[in-house]
Structure 1
Amino acid sequence: MKITILPNTLGHQTQEQATQEMQQFVPLLTGECSSHLKPFLCSVYTPKCVLRRAQPPCRTDCEQAQSDCGPHMQQLGFHWPESLRCEAFTTESCEQVTLLIRKC
């Protein structure tokens, strides 16, 4: 079982706020443009609670998801959100296991 915490990285105070904003990614998640997208989005919108704090999103997951999904997003008529700028995230929270799919 994964324990999550709010507010998340984007400041959402409720699960409803986070879910509403995350809906924009449904076409990409169902199309599976990147194995890194779901773990990254989960870490942003429903962050894991570690020592009573939200574990920050992993920059390398963000970069890989953006690289893989960017062209698909453009085909759908939108761009990678400024609020998810990869440079804003840390590499210190990145797990060493590659392609680990975390459950949301």
Structure 2
Amino acid sequence: MTAPFCKDMSYTEVFLPNIFVHKTQDEANLALDHFTPLVQLECSAHLKPFLCSVYLPKCVFGKGLTPCRTLCEKARSGCEPLMNRFGLNWPENLKCEHFLDVNCKKEMLL
């Protein structure tokens, strides 16, 4: 993990390309920069882990570990009301319905 946005995550191996077809950590980090204000406002403690798991997914046995729907829902429930106050919607490409809770560890759902 070299991307500054996610450098403090608990994993070090990243799988690319991600679901947005970013081929480098720099590309993914540039996309993540748009979310910096929300992370700084701390609308949800789950936002940064969720975003990192989407843009810079953990590599497990040569595959990218997709984020859990529950993690997405927790991030969204904390941040979407704030986004709505500024006329913004939760990004379509991050809709929680896109993710599953299959193979999710219990601690990832907390």
Q: Which residue of the other structure, out of 53, 69, 80, is the alignment partner of 2:79?
A: 69
Q: Highest relative contact order (Cα 8 Å, sep 6+), 1 or 2? A: 1
Q: Shift in Å at residue 28 of structure 1?
A: 0.8
Q: Normalised by the size of structure 1, how large is the TM-score?
A: 0.86
Matched, 1:32 2:17: no
Match of 1:94 in 2: 104
Match of 1:54 in 2: 64
AA matched with 1:13 = K
CA distance in 2, matches of 1:8, 1:98: 19
Any conservation in 2 of the 1:40–1:65 contact (CA below 8 Å)? yes
Secondary structure of the equivalent of 1:24? Answer: helix
Structure 1 portions without partners, runs of 5+: none
Match of 1:14 in 2: 24
Match of 1:41 in 2: 51
When the two chains are superposed, the root-mean-square deviation of aligned CA atoms in Å is 1.7
CA distance in 2, matches of 1:14, 1:22: 13
Q: Normalised by the size of structure 2, how large is the TM-score?
A: 0.81
AA matched with 1:69 = C
Any conservation in 2 of the 1:58–1:89 contact (CA below 8 Å)? yes
Q: Which residue of the other structure, out of 4, 16, 20, is the alignment partner of 2:14?
A: 4
Structure 2 portions without partners, runs of 5+: 1-10
CA distance in 1, matches of 2:27, 2:83: 22
Q: Shift in Å at residue 98 of structure 1?
A: 5.7
The percent of aligned pairs where both chains have the same amino acid is: 49
